[in-house]
Amino acid sequence: MRYLLIGVLLSLFSVLIAMIFWGMEQVYLVSGTVGCVFIGISMIFSGSMVSGDRMRANIATETSEHRDERNKITLNSLYIALPNIVVAVLFYFLSK
């Protein structure tokens, strides 16, 4: 829940920054960019951006502690990204 709260705070901060600098029309771009960055981090740490052979080699050579840590980072970055994406979608439909 802590990472979801961090995501909510990041989305509020990004909305405030965007409203100060660019106005209401550009709010969804800043929040959406933050969300996409954290989704990208989640994709990289999950290992979904590599081929099947590389994924099989990575799984065979990593320890269970390392795998648990990698999965935890993946989920935590996804929890940070979700509120930002939701705010971006809401502001996009409200501004159009």
User: Residue 52 sits in which domain range?
Assistant: 2-95
Using a cut of 0.85, tell me whether the model's pTM lies above it: yes
Task: Let me know the angle formed at the C-alpha of 70 by 82 and 80, rounded to the nearest 5 degrees.
Answer: 15
Tell me, what DSSP letter sits at residue 25?
A: G
H helices of 1-96, where?
2-21, 27-46, 52-61, 64-95
| Count of domains forming the chain | 1
Each residue's pLDDT tens digit, 18-65 = 999 988 888 899 999 999 999 999 999 988 888 888 888 888 899 999
What does the pLDDT look like over 54-94, one tens digit per residue?
888 888 899 999 999 999 999 999 999 999 999 999 999 98
